[in-house]
Amino acid sequence: GAVVSQHPSWVICKSGTSVKIECRSLDFQATTMFWYRQFPKQSLMLMATSNEGSKATYEQGVEKDKFLINHASLTLSTLTVTSAHPEDSSFYICSARDPNAGRGGYEQYFGPGTRLTVT
């Protein structure tokens, strides 16, 4: 199946700093990517939908000025957590939609996730 990578796999940053997380589709072009956040023992929560070449669409309650999303190419989307605080510590997961995949071409492939710890 298609592969989605994330970098870094884990990151520790100090409160007030910004951190960037990359999501790449390695063997397909993804016009749409998604960003999720997952707290321990909880389910995934969709944060935003990232479309190549256009502004991201954020879910209700997600601060777009704090979580900056850039989808500059068909294989790369980035999530920047600005002015991070300890409550932003979480597991961030991206997924990419391969329009040419099997099963009707609508399967989403998930990255391995990025563990962010803000101290």
Partner 1 sequence: LAKTTQPISMDSYEGQEVNITCSHNNIATNDYITWYQQFPSQGPRFIIQGYKTKVTNEVASLFIPADRKSSTLSLPRVSLSDTAVYYCLVGDMNTGFQKLVFGTGTRLLVSP
Binding residues for partner 1 (CB under 8 A)? 1, 4, 6, 32, 34, 36, 43-46, 49, 91, 93-95, 97, 99, 103-113, 115
Nearer to partner 1, 67 or 109 (CB): 109
How far, CA to CA in Å, does 13 sit from each of 24, 82, 92?
A: 22, 11, 15
CB closer to partner 1, 6 vs 77: 6
CB of 85 to partner 1, least distance (A): 22
Work out whether strand 108-110 and strand 45-51 pair parallel, antiparallel, or are unpaired.
unpaired
Select 44 or 68, whichever has its Cβ closest to partner 1. Answer: 44
Report the Cα–Cα distance between both ends of the chain, in Å, rounded.
37
Would you tell me how many other CB atoms lie within 10 Å of the CB of residue 30? 28
